[in-house]
Amino acid sequence: MKVDQYSLSITDRLKIEDGENPQEVIFYGQPGEGAVEYARQFVGDMGKTPEARETLIKLLNEELPGIEDRRVKRCDYCRYLWRDDSLRNNRKSCCEDCRQARRKLQKRKEREREELINPKPRKRTKKDDYVYWIEYPYWSNEDSMLAEAERYEKPYGVETLDYLDTQNQIYGEGNGKRRTSENGYGF
């Protein structure tokens, strides 16, 4: 099995668990306590030397003697090798931190699945009252229309309104500049 070292986001971990990782690669983040303890048996007091590094890589590649032990497993959270010293040899994570992190991950995954199967409806907004998909779009709710319009159109000030009022009295309503006649019939 090929080994590579990356720290991994939770999403990526989930992807890998779902079999989306195309290569035979194990990704590593921080080793848990149990994994560190197990690795210490091999590197002992080598310190941060090239030998220690090489030994650790061999360990990750399962190339060291002793790891055929039935009690030696990969932690289901941090993915490093560790040795299960529990009585029944039935633990899956190398330490308490990893166990809890793993549980959190599973819960999250369940929530995500649930969300996928049973998506929450999107919150209704004022824009939903606008029937835009027909030839003559309209608002089905006036309050929504006004609220939406106010976001784009500044209301006129008093002076402008006065001015428009005067203009309307002279020329009539609308944009055409046709002077209204005295009798209202255009002559």
Please report, as ranges, the residues that interact with Zn ion according to CB under 5 A: 32, 75, 77-78, 94, 98
Element of type H or E holding 17: helix 10-17
| Contacts of residue 57, Cβ cutoff 8 Å, sequence gap at least 6 | 3
Which pairing describes strands 2-3 and 25-26: parallel, antiparallel, or unpaired?
parallel
Q: Are residues 121 and 104 in contact, defined by beta-carbon separation less than 8 angstroms?
A: no
Q: Which is nearer to Zn ion, 108 or 113 (CB)?
A: 108
CA–CA distances in Å: residue 176 to residues 26, 123, 162, 165: 75, 43, 18, 15
Least distance CB 34 / Zn ion (angstroms) = 6
- Which residue in the block uniquely carries the two structure tokens 């210490």? 40
Q: Which is nearer to Zn ion, 55 or 77 (CB)?
A: 77
Position 165: which residue type? D
Element of type H or E holding 97: helix 96-117
Q: Which is nearer to Zn ion, 60 or 75 (CB)?
A: 75
Least distance CB 121 / Zn ion (angstroms) = 39
Least distance CB 22 / Zn ion (angstroms) = 25
Least distance CB 37 / Zn ion (angstroms) = 10
Q: Which is nearer to Zn ion, 40 or 113 (CB)?
A: 40
Q: Which residue is nearest to Zn ion (CB)?
A: 32
Least distance CB 99 / Zn ion (angstroms) = 8
Q: Which is nearer to Zn ion, 29 or 172 (CB)?
A: 29
Phi, psi (5° rounding) for residue 2? Answer: -75, 145
